[in-house]
Structure 1
Amino acid sequence: MQYASLAKLTVSRGCAQAVLALFVTQIYSPSVPVHWLGAWLLAVALVYARGVMVDRKLADIESRPATSEDFKRNLSSAMLAGLVWAIPVLAFAPLGTPTDLAALLLVLVLIVSGSIYFATNVPISIVGATVLISGAAMAHAALSEMWIVMGVAFVFMVASVLGAIEVGRIHLAARIAEASLSEKEEVVSLLLREFEENEADWLWEVDTTRRLRSVSPRFAFALGHRQSEVEGKPLLELIATRDCAPRDYAPSLRELAERLKNHENFSNLIVHVSIKGEERWWELSGTPMRDERGKFVGFRGVGSDVTEQRASSEKIAYLARFDTLTALPNRLQINEGLGEALRYAAQWRTRCALLMVDLDRFKAVNDSLGHMIGDKLLAQVSSRLQTIIGGDLLCGRLGGDEFAIVIRDASDSDLISDTARKVIEVLSEPYQVDQHTLYVGASVGSAVGPRDGNSVEELMRNADLALYRAKDVGGGEHCRFEPELHATAEERRRLEVSLRKAVLEDEFVLHYQPVVDARSEEIVSFEALVRWNSPEHGFVSPGKFIALAEDTRLIVPLGQWILREACREARAWPEDIKVNVNVSPEQLLEPEFHQDVVDALAASGLRPERLEVEVTESIFVRDATTARNSLEQIMALGCSVALDDFGTGYSSLGYLRKLRFSTIKVDRTFVQGAAQESNESLAIINAVVAMAKSLDMTTTAEGVETAEEAELIRNLGCDKIQGFYFGRPMSKEEARRLFCADNGQREAG
């Protein structure tokens, strides 16, 4: 950096030395021989010529590293120049007058001063030349005993050396700062160019009157115009709706105008703009510019078009608050609406309400026709619900086939009942979905706030409990929340905790109810029935804990225990007595259910022919293929399968055709109906018996409690009978005593 500028000053330095050399020649021409003066001038020219050559070699110094040779050449040129200018002091001055000496010293001062000015960037060279010239002057003064002149020359030399070093340091610092600034400007320019070319953002700038200046091509493109068309135009007029007065600007545009007017910084300000009639959204940031006196001179900032990002954000916000299938508000928005309704009720001392709606028989639609049909059905349900809701109602989908309705002002108690009744009526009408006529009903549970709950969670929980009650009574009903429902739910929760503990600690026992031959009345099998006498709840009805076990899937480990225990006990019975074990649909859907049967038989040593598995028709509703495969694997082992409660639920002759059951059990309701001379019950029993015989199956009548019923069933042709008349469920010890009594009777007979 220091050497690079030497070549630029070569001509100026040569001209100055030539003029001063002529002055010296003129001063000493009367007293110094001409050939001496000519020789000295030639020496000055040669030294200058060599200096020019050295300077030219340094012309490319900025593109290559400086070497010690460069330093030596430059320093030697300066030293030679100092020696050449020292010659007049040492050789010419003794021949001249004191006036000539004074003129010569003045020339030398100009030489040194000029060197400091013209060669500021190489202070080492200046110092070398100055020392030589000043040394020669001091030597002449000493020889001539001009001590004052010698002192002045010495002071001049010291001052010149220090001055050259300081001026050189300042000059170098300035050059370094200049180079750094230039580099920074280049970097900034490069970054701005990169920013303009590769980013979606653009730079903008306005003057004090908010008119555009220095419009970049990208910003002009964002404005929909060429640069020349928008330069100097008012920014707000270009981005506002055509012919729109400032008072009618969009709120975001008015905010931008206020920020510009008040000279305020702003960042990431979203502004609604109109570009040639097209609505867009910009994100702008800006800062006021001020000159060195602090005077405001305009605004400068960056901006970007965020229309697509805003559309995406709005879509995400919509998806976060609305159900995509039905376009109804989702659980989040329902929770917010219910919270707002509770606050409104507390503020105005009124009431709000929440209605939970659940479709009846919707699962059967999904299982039989598929989820695509189910989704289309849900879309129609949502359309019907939207026709019901009014301005003070909010209806949304919570998930699955469950919906909710928030009534903001439920001060009219009839409004809740009327809305629930209307929902049930409208949703119970037939649906037409892809050539299928579908019938689903609806059950409704309601809770009133703040009476039934002061929070969203409480109100939802209590409305859900009321909905469970409506489902339990058969569906198609509306139930209001009552405090005892919470007590029932709490009891169910505690019962579930105890049930989980009971499964782990073997609190269950098996009782056995005999099944007899209809003709001989001899025992042919026992049905294993599980009983639970809880230390906390006492005796718990199977109808209560079996359903709970199925809901919580505790029926799987409980069923495994029943299977093992029943097989182990049956091993102690006579070889011709079977054991019947009820199997839940949850067990059959387990992929390893057949292995549980194998393990139970292997552990007990019971022959497979002595185990009969009882299933209900409901197993075929959930997953008929899996259930059928499980039962076929069991039958392949040699076990038999009985179809329990035939005709009470989902009866279909297709089940009997696809799977070879060994026994069909006639439900007790038909037995009691036949005993009461019900023609329908008699016809059903006759039909079942005839069908079973044709399919080579046996029939078992359940619930026989009197001798008359037993005789009736025998006459109707049933093969086996089960009921209290022949024996109630009993402990394993009591069952074993029956065999002992039976053997004693045979021996006596």
Structure 2
Amino acid sequence: MRTEPTSQFAMPRIDARALLGLYDPADTTDWAPIRAAQLHAGSQLAFFLLAANLIGAALVTLLLEHAAPLWAMASWGAVVAAVAVAVTFRRLAARHRAASSATLGDVRDTVLEGIALAAVWSVPPLAFGATADSTTALGLWIVLSVLMTASAVAMAALPLATLSFLGILGTAIAAMLFLVGGPVLAASILLFTALLMIGCFTRARALVVIRAGEISLAERDETISLLLREAQDHSADWLWETDAARRIVRASPRFAHSVGLDPVSINGKALLEVLAGPTWEAGNFSAGLRTLGEHLKGRVAFSGVLLPVRVGDTERWFEIAANPRVDERGAFIGFRGVGSDVTEQRESADKINRMARFDTLTGLPNRLHINETLGRAMADATKWGSRCAFMMIDLDRFKAVNDSLGHPIGDRLLGRVSERLTALMSENELIGRLGGDEFAVVVRDAGDGARVERLAQTIVDALAKPYDLDQHTLYTGASVGVAFGPRDGATAEMLIRSADLALYRSKDQSGGMYHCYEPQLHVAAEERRILEQALRKALSNDELDVHYQPVVDAGTGSLKGFEALVRWTHPELGSISPAKFIPLAEDARLIAPIGEWVLRSACAEAATWPGETRIAVNVSPEQLHNPGFVAIVASALANSGLPASRLELEVTESVFMRDDTGAVKVLERILGLGVRLSLDDFGTGYSSLGYLSRTKFSTIKIDRSFVIGASKKVPEAIAIIRAVVALAQSLGMATTAEGVETEDEHRMVQDLGCTKVQGYYFGRPLPVAEARSLAQRDWSDRAAA
């Protein structure tokens, strides 16, 4: 016959033998804390019991002063006091008051206290009561009855001791009354004693029931607290409990259902076996199951253990938490814990993690993922004495695609680029997108440096092939920078910096190639940093000067004007080439204040020149995209007194490559001031006739590269110069040939139709005093002619 399992939190059945301390039942009730509660309750009225004994002894001595010798009563009173004090100190022992559990022997030993008290209190009725008169016997009966009642109240928590005391003393009193008053009185005292014993036992049972309920509630509160704590943090779903051998006991139906087992048959199975499922026999355990096993082995509290569990044909994820359980002796008896099915939460977390670590446009790993992978590769390389590598990839001409065809086409192009890059990767490499048109490759094992360089060249070749998108054939190349770790950087950040410097080297050399990091690149970068810091102070330290290069008539050689060119002389670094500091000023966003200073200085100087000598000043795209630049030009003219017709601003074709019309509007307002415009370096950029028709230029300047080519009889260069001259003539514009350094070059550009020339043949850029002298002399020569 199968018995129903006892509920985990059911109220215990009270066994009379266990209540008396004669038996320790082998049921699910833990009697150790109940016995401790009995001892503790007995100690609470210890002083009351002591007072009752001492007062009772004094009253009995007074009653029997004529019926017994004084020495006998004094001796008896001393014995009563000694026994009562001993019992009181025993009840108040610290180990009983502080203990949360007590053994069966602790309760059983209290019977000696009851017997000892009963023995000393049985002496007066048995030794002296039978010979006393009826009045004395009646008084003795009353005192002892009150004492029995007080003891039944004070000692009820310890029923074995109390029942022993009441039974022995009640029998002694009954014997006395039998001899003095007959059987009726003896029977009455026996009935009274029985009633006291029944009341004592009932009160003792009530105390045990209350304490057992408190223990059950505390156990329930502990479990519910664990459940609530885990539910608040992790949405706990079910309870589980094991014994000391890690076998499941009292499994909840929800737990059994979660692992796909019957709620009855799951009891007695090893917890790890149930959670391992089909992998138990193979021994192919997950990391989470191994972690759980370590916690169970260590017998310590734990939480947040994640492990996969195979339930049928699906894999679920459980989160486990538990606390160890101990008995009254502090011995480990198992675990009680909670579990949750967090499959949906984990899938959601995985999705969020993927969004945080992968690029949404291309699906490639993003910057965070790349940095983590590179960090691990660097750690492995340092640990094993090997090498890893990092490549930075920047697309060439991608901005032109975005500007001309729009961002949607640009995004689709990035997707196609990522597909080509992914196809080139092996398990040893990770390709990712840093942002914009920048990609990166982490090579985990770069022991074969030649293979890494072949991969870099393969990337350059693959990305140079055309792309067909929406009936557009697009061409974009790639520049690649390569750095090897830990040789080129001891940390991931340093290695990225080294690869970035190598990438700049590739782009500086027109792109479409790869470069490996070299120490001199860092030297150049450091030099650039020092120059930038110095350039930021150059204006305030009065280190900049404006030199003036003559521009002459191609036919007569007469001076037509000057081009203002900024020069920088540092007190420690010396003269610094404009080829170095002008690009640096543009990157550092310093070109605008420097350009404004050059404009104002040039206008102020030109205003001192005689005649109609013009001044040409270069203007950067950044200045022209500032709507306030028109006011700066007007202010420079007004402050210097220079007529607007004598100022010519030189702009390059790159101004028109942005997708807005802000620069064109600024140029129109400048033309409205009466200032002339010159198109510099025509033919070297994105030459288009569209902006020539929209903007009224007075001069087109032919770049020196075409002049050199024409002097070497290169047909294409000669054809370009002729075409530019013809175009300028048809539009009513002058043409200026730059970089003329020999008489042959001068004669050649003159024959090709250029109206003005500029170059070392006619004069290098001159300091302000020499330029002013040349302007005065030319004016004097004209006046004399």
| Residue pair 1:511, 1:528 contacting (<8 A) in 2 also | yes
Unaligned residue ranges in structure 2 (runs of 5+): 1-132, 156-199
| Residue pair 2:390, 2:441 contacting (<8 A) in 1 also | yes
Secondary structure at the residue paired with 2:539?
A: helix
Q: Which residue pairs with 1:38 in the alignment?
A: none
- Within the candidate set 580, 598, 604, 1:562 is matched to 598
**Shift in CA distance, 712/302, structure 1 to aligned 2, threshold 3 Å:** same
Structural mapping, 1:117-128, within 5 Å? none
| Residue pair 2:240, 2:337 contacting (<8 A) in 1 also | yes
Q: Which residue pairs with 1:303 in the alignment?
A: 339
Determine if the alignment matches structure 1 residue 536 to structure 2 residue 572. Answer: yes
- Within the candidate set 619, 626, 633, 1:597 is matched to 633
Q: Structure 2 counterpart of 1:552, which letter? A: A
TM-score for both structures, normalised by structure 1: 0.69
TM-score for both structures, normalised by structure 2: 0.66
Task: Quote the offset at 1:510 in angstroms.
Answer: 0.9
Q: Which residue pairs with 2:17 in the alignment?
A: none
- Within the candidate set 585, 607, 611, 1:549 is matched to 585
Structural mapping, 1:215-254, within 5 Å? 219=255, 222-223=258-259, 239-241=275-277, 245=281, 247-253=283-289
**Shift in CA distance, 437/526, structure 1 to aligned 2, threshold 3 Å:** same
| Residue pair 2:241, 2:251 contacting (<8 A) in 1 also | no
- Within the candidate set 229, 235, 253, 1:200 is matched to 235
Q: Structure 1 counterpart of 2:235, which letter? A: A
**Shift in CA distance, 106/461, structure 1 to aligned 2, threshold 3 Å:** closer
Question: How many positions carry a matched residue from both structures?
Answer: 603
More displaced 10-residue stretch of structure 1: 497-506 or 409-418: 409-418
Deviations 1:179-209 (A, max 9, x none): 9959986987997897899882145133537
| Residue pair 1:241, 1:277 contacting (<8 A) in 2 also | no
Determine if the alignment matches structure 1 residue 461 to structure 2 residue 497. Answer: yes
Task: Quote the offset at 1:528 in angstroms.
Answer: 0.9
- Within the candidate set 669, 690, 707, 1:633 is matched to 669
Task: Quote the offset at 1:397 in angstroms.
Answer: 3.8
Task: Quote the offset at 1:516 in angstroms.
Answer: 3.2
Task: Quote the offset at 1:562 in angstroms.
Answer: 0.7
Structural mapping, 1:180-579, within 5 Å? 200-208=235-243, 219=255, 222-223=258-259, 239-241=275-277, 245=281, 247-253=283-289, 255-256=291-292, 260=296, 264-292=300-328, 297-315=333-351, 317-318=353-354, 322-331=358-367, 334-335=370-371, 352-449=388-485, 451-518=487-554, 521-574=557-610, 576-579=612-615
Task: Quote the offset at 1:221 in angstroms.
Answer: 6.3
Q: Which residue pairs with 1:54 in the alignment?
A: none
Secondary structure at the residue paired with 2:608?
A: coil
| Residue pair 1:196, 1:218 contacting (<8 A) in 2 also | no
| Residue pair 1:238, 1:275 contacting (<8 A) in 2 also | no
Determine if the alignment matches structure 1 residue 690 to structure 2 residue 726. Answer: yes
Q: Distance in 2 between matches of 1:395 and 1:384?
A: 11
Q: Distance in 2 between matches of 1:490 and 1:249?
A: 54
Q: Distance in 1 between matches of 2:268 and 2:429?
A: 54
Q: Which residue pairs with 1:734 in the alignment?
A: 770
| Residue pair 2:230, 2:338 contacting (<8 A) in 1 also | no
More displaced 10-residue stretch of structure 1: 342-351 or 244-253: 342-351
Task: Quote the offset at 1:540 in angstroms.
Answer: 1.7
Q: Which residue pairs with 1:56 in the alignment?
A: none
**Shift in CA distance, 700/354, structure 1 to aligned 2, threshold 3 Å:** same
Q: Distance in 2 between matches of 1:196 and 1:674?
A: 84
Q: Structure 2 counterpart of 1:737, which letter? A: S
Deviations 1:345-378 (A, max 9, x none): 6666665544443322223223333344333333
Q: Distance in 2 between matches of 1:362 and 1:491?
A: 29
Task: Quote the offset at 1:271 in angstroms.
Answer: 2.5
**Shift in CA distance, 540/180, structure 1 to aligned 2, threshold 3 Å:** same
Q: Distance in 2 between matches of 1:262 and 1:196?
A: 21
Deviations 1:618-660 (A, max 9, x none): 1222455232232223223332221111111110111212322
Q: Distance in 2 between matches of 1:251 and 1:190?
A: 29
Structural mapping, 1:600-615, within 5 Å? 600-615=636-651
**Shift in CA distance, 376/241, structure 1 to aligned 2, threshold 3 Å:** farther
Q: Distance in 2 between matches of 1:523 and 1:441?
A: 45
Determine if the alignment matches structure 1 residue 671 to structure 2 residue 697. Answer: no
Q: Distance in 2 between matches of 1:246 and 1:409?
A: 33
Q: Distance in 2 between matches of 1:513 and 1:286?
A: 86
**RMSD of aligned Cα (Å):** 4.2
Task: Quote the offset at 1:727 in angstroms.
Answer: 3.3
Q: Which residue pairs with 1:46 in the alignment?
A: none
| Residue pair 1:447, 1:462 contacting (<8 A) in 2 also | yes
Determine if the alignment matches structure 1 residue 723 to structure 2 residue 759. Answer: yes
Structural mapping, 1:171-182, within 5 Å? none
Q: Distance in 1 between matches of 2:484 and 2:778?
A: 64
More displaced 10-residue stretch of structure 1: 186-195 or 590-599: 186-195
**Shift in CA distance, 293/741, structure 1 to aligned 2, threshold 3 Å:** closer
**Shift in CA distance, 577/279, structure 1 to aligned 2, threshold 3 Å:** same
Secondary structure at the residue paired with 1:274?
A: strand
Q: Distance in 1 between matches of 2:251 and 2:317?
A: 20
Q: Structure 2 counterpart of 1:304, which letter? A: S
Deviations 1:287-340 (A, max 9, x none): 233443556554311222333443344445555655444444445555555566
Secondary structure at the residue paired with 1:513?
A: strand
Q: Distance in 1 between matches of 2:468 and 2:686?
A: 23
Deviations 1:60-84 (A, max 9, x none): xxxxxxxxxxxxxxxxxxxxxxxxx
**Shift in CA distance, 433/241, structure 1 to aligned 2, threshold 3 Å:** farther
Task: Quote the offset at 1:559 in angstroms.
Answer: 0.8
Q: Which residue pairs with 1:24 in the alignment?
A: none
Q: Distance in 2 between matches of 1:413 and 1:664?
A: 50
**Shift in CA distance, 571/283, structure 1 to aligned 2, threshold 3 Å:** same
**Shift in CA distance, 225/736, structure 1 to aligned 2, threshold 3 Å:** same
**Shift in CA distance, 194/532, structure 1 to aligned 2, threshold 3 Å:** closer
Q: Distance in 2 between matches of 1:375 and 1:103?
A: 113
Q: Which residue pairs with 1:699 in the alignment?
A: 735
**Shift in CA distance, 261/489, structure 1 to aligned 2, threshold 3 Å:** closer
Q: Distance in 2 between matches of 1:341 and 1:232?
A: 47
Q: Structure 2 counterpart of 1:669, which letter? A: S
Q: Structure 2 counterpart of 1:495, which letter? A: L
| Residue pair 1:609, 1:638 contacting (<8 A) in 2 also | yes
Task: Quote the offset at 1:232 in angstroms.
Answer: 7.5
Q: Structure 1 counterpart of 2:518, which letter? A: E
Task: Quote the offset at 1:499 in angstroms.
Answer: 1.8
**Shift in CA distance, 646/207, structure 1 to aligned 2, threshold 3 Å:** closer
Q: Distance in 1 between matches of 2:773 and 2:510?
A: 43
Q: What percent identity do the matched residue pairs reach?
A: 51
**Shift in CA distance, 575/214, structure 1 to aligned 2, threshold 3 Å:** farther
